[in-house]
């Protein structure tokens, strides 16, 4: 009796009027233009031939004579595939370290009870306050002391476990109902069994999130590899591409082509994991 039927046309607190909906679409279109336009412009520049003037007063967005010659010239100028392989090796080590290390640390902080857990969590949070540039000198001294300077392992090791990824995994494990763990404990399951049979199946979305973050961070990193590496044969792709900027300052077509080559793997990884990524972001990595 006390319940009023809601009008089919809506109303209520969460109703969205036509004007507000139109404003949202306008803002979304604006954000899309701001984020996608530079990428499309780089793609267009990389496909333009030498007879096209990209510095004209009214530059053409679409190439008049599209060509893939710029990509071939990038491969002739620098060993781009060798640099890309070095970047893949670094990214693989970073992804493996974060997938294993962040998962174990996140599960321990979320589900295990041990002395000093709150202090340890506070230390993890404190590390997020410090920018990476503050610790880069101590990192280099440590890597050099371990004899890993000018090696791909030395590039990958500092990023092999990220504090933010640990906290993300802890949040995902915390979202698992405690009753599930309690029932498993009653059945005699060990901590490893609870992690493998209860924890991991419910955090695949968040695991995909940290995998994407770890890959992008390792693949796009420029400053740390530039400091650690001195042998050009060990250069990662981001460091190796600087030769294009130094040698061909008058030909931005090659720089744009190199940028697109370095961008493609990120698109592939995100396309492969985007279903799990959005599940981890929107649902808290827990299936209903």
Question: Per-domain residue ranges for the chain?
Answer: 18-53+61-67, 70-283
Contact 61, 212 (CB under 8 A): no
- At residue 56, the pLDDT reads 66
- As a whole number of angstroms, the distance between CA 227 and CA 136 comes to 9
- As a whole number of angstroms, the distance between CA 216 and CA 196 comes to 27
Contact 70, 46 (CB under 8 A): yes
Around Cβ 88, how many Cβ atoms within 10 Å?
Answer: 17
- At residue 246, the pLDDT reads 59
Contact 236, 86 (CB under 8 A): yes
- As a whole number of angstroms, the distance between CA 193 and CA 8 comes to 50
Nearest of 60, 48, 35, 36 to residue 256 by alpha carbon: 48
Q: What global pTM score does this model have?
A: 0.80
Per-residue pLDDT of the chain (288 residues; tens, 9 = 90+): 444 444 444 454 456 678 888 888 899 889 988 888 888 888 888 888 887 777 766 667 788 888 888 888 888 888 989 999 999 999 999 999 999 999 999 998 888 888 888 888 888 788 778 777 788 888 999 999 999 999 999 999 999 988 889 888 988 898 888 888 888 888 888 888 888 888 888 888 888 889 888 999 999 999 999 999 999 999 999 998 887 775 445 578 888 888 888 888 888 888 887 777 776 665 543 444
The architecture in CATH of the region 70-283 reads Orthogonal Bundle (1.10)
């Amino acid at each position: 009796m006390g319940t009023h039927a809601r009008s089919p046309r809506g109303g209520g607190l969460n109703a969205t009027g036509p004007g507000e909906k139109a404003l949202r679409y306008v803002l979304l279109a604006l954000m899309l233009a701001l984020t996608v336009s530079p990428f499309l412009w780089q793609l267009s520049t990389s496909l333009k031939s030498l007879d096209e003037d990209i510095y004209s007063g009214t530059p053409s967005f679409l190439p008049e004579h599209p060509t893939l010659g710029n990509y071939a010239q990038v491969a002739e100028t620098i060993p781009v595939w060798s640099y890309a392989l070095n970047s893949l090796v670094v990214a693989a080590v970073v992804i493996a370290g974060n997938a294993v290390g962040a998962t174990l640390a996140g599960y321990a902080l979320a589900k295990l009870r041990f002395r000093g857990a709150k202090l340890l969590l506070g230390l993890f949070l404190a590390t997020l306050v410090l920018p990476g540039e503050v610790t880069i000198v101590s990192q280099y001294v440590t890597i050099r002391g371990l004899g890993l300077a000018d090696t791909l392992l030395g590039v990958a090791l500092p990023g092999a476990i990220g504090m933010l990824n640990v906290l993300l995994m802890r949040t995902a494990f915390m979202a698992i109902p405690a009753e599930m763990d309690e029932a498993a404990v009653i059945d005699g399951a060990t901590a490893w069994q609870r992690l493998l049979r209860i924890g991991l199946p419910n955090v695949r979305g968040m695991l995909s999130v940290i995998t994407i973050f770890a890959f992008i961070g390792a693949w796009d990193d420029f400053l740390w590899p530039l400091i650690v590496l001195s042998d050009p044969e060990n250069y990662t792709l981001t460091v190796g591409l600087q030769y294009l900027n130094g040698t061909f300052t008058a030909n931005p077509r090659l720089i744009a082509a190199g940028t697109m080559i370095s961008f493609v793997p990120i698109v592939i990884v995100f396309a492969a994991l985007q279903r799990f990524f959005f599940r981890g972001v929107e649902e808290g990595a827990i299936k209903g």
